[in-house]
Amino acid sequence: MKNKLIVVLLSIALAGSLALSGSLMYVNVHQNKKVNKYIADQLERQAKEEEKLNNYQEDGYKVGEQYEIRSTKDISDAYKSGDESKLSDADKKTLKLAKDVLKSVIKDGMTNYEKEQAVYEWMYKNIGHGASTTITMPTATGSDFTPGGVLVSHQAVCVGYATTFRMFMNMLGMECHIVHNEYHSWDLLKLDDGKWYHTDIYTDVSGHTEYQNFNMTDAQCTTGHDWDTAALPAANGVKYSYAVQNNKKIKDIFAVPGKIKKLLDKDKPASVFYSFDRKLSDQDLKVADVLVAQMGNAMSSAGLDRFSISASWYNTETEGEYILGVFLGKYEDESKSNLDPKMTKKINEIVAKAFGLDPSVLGTGMSGEGDVEDNMPNG
């Protein structure tokens, strides 16, 4: 009887084991199908992206029928391989200048996002937008729209910013393309999350609004930008938005005006990003819109009309949650001289004496002083 019981128990255990094995096999097969589908979907997406890019003219296109987007692949390849023997003398000079910049801003252990941000900040602070010298230089061809010219003159039109940023990103091993229409150009960068992001340094510099046009989605970029969306990969990354990476949490929307006034008291341009303790309602979004408009009115009434104010909502990785970006631009001399103040003062005194003027009526000695550029992007 005891032996029969053991046999019965073993039979039950075996049946259970077979049933469990069958169940696990079903789960594994089901999971394998999901994995295979995911891989197939990714390959299909990549194939579509490659097809779009193959049909898109990047290098050789002239923005504004004047500023040609020129390839810097030879330079970035030489940087990565360490072999610059095949470069022209001009490209060797560009590579040397670019290497010096990267050496100064890139640190060991940086993520690709941190490298991108470091290059963006260097370009934002060190490259002026499209200012020209009063006296034409015979060797200045391409000085404001090619990386070689930009890194020497520290001045650039939109194509100069876009090609120089692309060159840096390619040197650092990142995939980057230039987006353009007939009158403007900027960059499209792929980061570690496999997503694409728009970055337009030229517009940020010209508007004195740092990070407003940094790592944007397609939806954000459509405000102020126009391009053939069918020709390039979709930019829908959120993780590496500057707003997501660098926001300050505050209690509610009504805390914003006080914080903005403190920034204005510093008399400097500023870009700030606020997240909130609770999820914002539709009413909160409407309130924020009115608050920003009224802050603009208050700034004019308070004699702060040398500043501009604008704002944007940014998506987060959590559905339905938003971050508010507020940008304070300051209208000032758009084309600053690289001369030290003492030399500028000396020049003003000499010119004023020659023309019988008071030196105080002279500006910085550069054309364009007092002109207020609008924030519409152009080449």
User: Taking residues 319-347, what's their average pLDDT?
Assistant: 79
CB 351 within 8 A of CB 315: no
Band the pLDDT of 11: cuts 50, 70, 90: low
Q: 62-244 has which fold?
A: C8orf32 fold (3.10.620)
| Residue of 219, 232, 138, 218 whose CA lies nearest to 179 | 232
- Please tell me the predicted confidence (pLDDT) of residue 331: 82
Measured CA to CA, the distance from residue 200 to residue 197 in angstroms comes to: 10
pTM (2 d.p.): 0.74
CATH classification of 249-330 is 1.10.260, yes or no?
Answer: no
Structural tokens at position 278: 């609770």
- State residue 182's pLDDT score: 94
What average pLDDT does the chain have? 85
Average pLDDT over residues 208-227: 94
In the chain, % of residues over pLDDT 70: 75
Q: Report pLDDT digits (tens) over 72-126.
A: 999 999 999 999 999 999 999 999 999 999 999 999 999 999 999 999 999 999 9
Count of helices and strands (H, E) across the chain: 12, 11
- Per-residue confidence (pLDDT) for residue 343, from 0 to 100: 83
Helix (H, G, I), strand (E, B) or coil at 262: helix
CB 238 within 8 A of CB 316: yes
Task: Report d(CA 248, CA 242) in Å as an integer.
Answer: 12
What pLDDT sits at residue 143? Answer: 77
